[in-house]
């Protein structure tokens, strides 16, 4: 049993003993552990979406709605999160139900969805679904859409990811956007030769770093674009001149990147690696995502987008 599983099992044993002492029926510790794993998995995806909201420059408030619902009449299902964002100098509140899947299609029972809708209608707030699709590759693909955009078939509601992307509101509500890096775009570095030792060796100084567009026009260096540049592959070209060496890191194909991918790129490498579970709750508590927000936030990337 791994360390994490062992800790969960110890927590399950404590819960088991507490339930026994209270006089209530207690399931086996292993069943409690499985429930804890399921709960933590659900909380993690909620915290990941909250991190996305905190990274956005538009969030004003994010509130996890984890209280129990009591109803005397109709059944209600409380969504996961209440968000308030700023858009065009207006405060826009909305509810969010967070889901994830590695499949582009996901099914939900009619009763479950209608309970969510009933709650949203009662409090008079729009209800959105934040859907994290993990089957796209190494990086997640998020879509934020109104719950009534879900298709109905055979008495159930379905998320069809290609369709939901058409209705995605991460751009409007969270300031997300797509960046295109064109083939031939390069990062160029010039090293001036101060002392030539041999044909293959010299002592030099880095004297210039700049961007070059695909039509060979010089552009100002911006390290924010370097982060997006790192998301895609490039090839190296070297011009060895008598007095200097020019090294180019050139894109070999047109590549696209989604702005919020920079959030994942900005996470501390010791806390986030592809394929590993991220402790989003601890990251939020330790950093409140001010560390990437100040340097890699949406507003900075938007400035970069306008410049290019």
pLDDT tens column, 181-205? 788 888 888 999 988 888 778 888 9
Tell me: the pLDDT tens digits for 210-231?
Answer: 888 888 888 765 555 666 676 6
pLDDT tens for each residue of 21-35: 555 666 666 666 666
**Residue ranges per domain, the chain?**
179-257
Tokens matching residue 37: 């794993």
- Sign, Cα dihedral of 63, 124, 169, 156: positive
Q: Rounded to whole angstroms, how far apart are CA atoms 140 and 260? A: 10
Predicted pLDDT at 154: 80
**307 pLDDT above the threshold of 50:** no
The position carrying tokens 């409090």 is: 123
Which tens digits make up the pLDDT trace of 248-286? 888 888 777 777 777 776 665 445 444 456 677 766 666
At 290 the pLDDT is: 45
Is the Cα torsion angle 250, 253, 254, 259 positive or negative in sign?
negative
**Higher-pLDDT residue of 194, 125:** 125
Of 231, 232, 233, the C-alpha closest to 263 is 231
| pLDDT 10s digits, 90-120 | 899 999 999 988 888 889 999 999 999 999 9
User: Which pLDDT score is estimated for 138?
Assistant: 67
Exposed / middle / buried, residue 287 (Cβ in 10 Å: 0-12, 13-18, 19+): middle
Residue 294 has pLDDT above 50, yes or no: no
Q: Which helix (H) or strand (E) holds 249?
A: strand 244-251
160-171: pLDDT as tens digits:
888 888 899 998
Alpha carbon distance 295, 293 (integer Å): 6
Give percent of the chain with pLDDT exceeding 90: 19
Reported as a pLDDT band with limits 50, 70 and 90, residue 180 is confident
293 has pLDDT over 60? no
**Summary mean pLDDT of the chain:** 76
Distance CA 206, CA 189 (A): 7
Q: Residue 1: pLDDT above 60?
A: no
Decide if 281 contacts 47 (C-beta within 8 A): yes
Q: Quick one: pLDDT at residue 22?
A: 58
pLDDT number for residue 4: 52
What integer pLDDT is reported at residue 273 of this predicted model? Answer: 45
């Amino acid at each position: 049993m791994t360390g994490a599983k062992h800790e969960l099992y110890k927590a399950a044993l404590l819960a088991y003993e507490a339930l026994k002492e209270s006089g209530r029926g207690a399931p086996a510790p292993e069943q409690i552990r499985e429930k804890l794993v399921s709960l933590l998995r659900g909380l993690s995806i909620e915290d990941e979406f909250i991190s996305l909201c905190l990274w956005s420059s538009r969030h004003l408030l994010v509130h996890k709605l984890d209280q129990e619902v009591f109803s005397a009449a109709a059944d209600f299902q409380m969504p996961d999160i209440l968000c308030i964002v700023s858009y065009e100098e207006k405060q826009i509140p909305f509810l969010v139900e967070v889901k994830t899947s590695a499949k582009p299609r996901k099914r939900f029972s009619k009763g479950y969805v209608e309970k969510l809708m009933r709650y949203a209608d009662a409090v008079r707030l729009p209800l959105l679904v934040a859907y994290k699709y993990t089957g796209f590759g190494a990086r997640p693909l998020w879509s934020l859409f109104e719950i009534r955009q879900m298709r109905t078939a055979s008495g159930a509601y379905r998320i069809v990811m290609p369709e939901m992307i058409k209705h995605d509101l991460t751009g409007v509500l969270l300031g997300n956007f797509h960046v295109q890096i064109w083939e031939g775009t390069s990062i160029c570095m010039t090293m001036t030769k101060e002392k030539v030792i041999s044909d293959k060796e010299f002592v030099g100084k880095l004297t210039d770093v700049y961007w070059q567009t695909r039509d060979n026009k010089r552009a100002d260096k911006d390290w924010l674009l370097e982060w997006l540049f790192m998301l895609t592959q490039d090839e190296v070209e070297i011009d060895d001149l008598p007095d200097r060496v020019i090294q180019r890191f050139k894109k070999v194909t047109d590549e696209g990147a989604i702005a919020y991918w920079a959030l994942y790129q900005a996470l501390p490498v010791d806390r986030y690696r592809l394929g590993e579970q991220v402790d989003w709750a601890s990251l939020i508590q330790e950093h409140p995502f001010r560390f990437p927000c100040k340097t890699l936030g949406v507003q900075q990337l938007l400035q970069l987008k306008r410049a290019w």
